[in-house]
Structure formats: C-alpha cells, structure tokens
Amino acid sequence: MSLALSMDYQFDTTIEKAWAALTDSNKLAKWITENDFEPVVGHRFQFRHQPSEYWDGIVDGEVLVVEPPDRLSYSWATGNERHTVTWTLEELGDGRVNLHLDQTGFTNTHGLEGAKYGWSEWFGKFEQALN
C-alpha cells in the first residue's frame, strides 16, 4: 500500500523568489537543513539533519524534474522509505504564490503523519529563505 501527502502553502512573494527558496542550496538550508542540492536533473544530493538514536539524519535524493519556475520533483529516501516529492508553483495574483506539495510512496500512516508535521514545521521558516 502506498500513501500520499498533498499540502498547499501560500506566501506573499514572487514565483521567482519561491522557486529560489526551493532550489538554492543556501536558501534550503535556512528552512529545511544543510544540503548539497542542485536543480539539475540526475543530481544526487543529501539533506543532512541532526542525527538521533533512531535515525542517522540523512535523506538521500535525486533530482527528477526541473521546470523553472513552475515544477520541481525529486526522490526522497531514508531508511526503507522511498518517496517522490513534487512541487508545483502557481502565481495567485496580488503578489501571492501557492506552493503545492505532493509526496508519494509512504508505506505506513506513521510516516505520513510524521511528514505532515515535518513540512508544517519547515514551512514555518520558509519566509526566511525568500530574501
């Protein structure tokens, strides 16, 4: 069984600034974590979180789709979980942008709920990366 997560976030910004916050390694570090991300199809990267006694803190990924400034997709792998994260950006007018997140490949509801919590926490810091 594969479960999926779908979330939307709106920000007062330009689509170009939102795209940069999703694709620039330094900006990603401001709201997610240290990384070696590059928006190049086929690029393998890591998000490096603080390890714990239960997890080494590493998320391995590979860039799958880069269509600036509208769509970005990458694999997301940690432990036995293998997911696909896809971002779709849309200008809403009046200086607002919608970021739509789809994350597929969850094998259990615990992982799905953990991802909902994690993305909500990270998006609390997203605006720090818009400057």
The first and second tokens of residue 115, run together, are 């991802």
Q: What is the mean pLDDT of the chain?
A: 95
Omega of the bond prior to 39 within 30 degrees of 0, cis?
A: no
Helix, strand, or coil (residue 19): helix
> What is the percent of the chain with per-residue pLDDT over 90, rounded to a whole number?
89
Domains of the chain, earliest start first:
3-129 (3.30.530.20)
pLDDT value at residue 131: 81
Report whether pLDDT(2) > 80: no
pTM: 0.93
Which parts of 13-113 are beta strand (E)? 34-35, 44-48, 58-67, 71-78, 81-93, 96-106
Q: Is 57 exposed, middle or buried (0-12, 13-18, 19+ CB in 10 A)?
A: middle
- One-letter amino acid for residue 86 of the chain: T
Tell me the pLDDT tens digit for each residue of 64-123: 999 999 999 999 998 888 999 999 999 999 999 999 999 999 999 988 998 999 999 999
